[in-house]
Amino acid sequence: MSEILLSARGLKKTYAIGKRSLEVLRGVDVEISCGDFLALRGASGAGKSTLLHLIGGLDTPNAGEIFFAGEKLSEFSERKLTEFRNRRVGFVFQAYHLLPELTALENVCLPGRIARLSAAEVAKRAQELLARVGLAERADHKPSELSGGEQQRVAIARALINEPILLLADEPTGNLDSHTGGEIMELLKSLRAEKNMTLVIATHDAKVAALAPRVIELVDGVIA
């Protein structure tokens, strides 16, 4: 059996909206093995993004525990949690979240500079990643000068700059046409295999989810 990378038990998450409470996750258990390619599928509001944010350390559950490589995320200090998000997990979002004033190369370098890696090492790694995602000649372009698909490729390169072992992609094709979305998924699959990463994607698209060998269906905050 593959080694368990991440285990979540009894996860619950509720958000306060004015005087109302919105229960998004209602007790979710999931295990992710090293090297897994897992799709979290469900309609809008099913809890996919929330679950992704919890396992990536971007948010905390109201109840339940998350274990990463045997360690409880809830016991991480703020510094250790920041390092976990920066060095061990890569994030790809539907809206790209590139800084508009920076070039593609500078955007990709950013997490490496935050990790205090040497500027020369980060720049070299960023250039190699941009070449790998097919954007070597677009390194000096700013996001406004790039298409949606190109921006997502930059975001993928940025997510990989610190060589994470877990890559989380939240609706990575959601803002793209079907052809470009297919190219992005093929790129993610190839990079996962090349770098021996664990890949988890959240998607509402059945065709995208079907590309993963393992699919978890979320309905109203629980696993169907």
Instruction: State residue 147's pLDDT score.
Output: 96
- Any alpha helices (H) in the chain, and if so which ranges? 48-55, 78-83, 104-114, 119-132, 148-160, 178-195, 206-209
Tell me if 55 is assigned to some domain.
no
Please, what's the b/e burial string for 142-171 (b: 16 or more CB within 10 A of its CB; e: otherwise)?
Answer: bbeebebbbbbbbbbbbbbbbebbbbbbbb
At which residue do the structure tokens 């992005």 appear?
Answer: 184
Tell me if 146 is assigned to some domain.
yes
Q: What residue numbers bound the domain in which 174 lies?
A: 37-46+78-223
Tell me if 107 is assigned to some domain.
yes
Which token pair is 144?
């406004």
pLDDT at 45 over 90: no
Tell me if 198 is assigned to some domain.
yes
Higher pLDDT, 19 or 159: 159
pLDDT at 155 over 70: yes
Tell me if 131 is assigned to some domain.
yes
Tell me if 4 is assigned to some domain.
no
Which CATH number belongs to the domain containing residue 215 in this structure?
3.40.50.300
Tell me if 205 is assigned to some domain.
yes
**The total number of structural domains that make up the chain:** 1
**DSSP label of 152:** H
pLDDT at 1 over 60: no
- pTM, two decimals, is 0.94
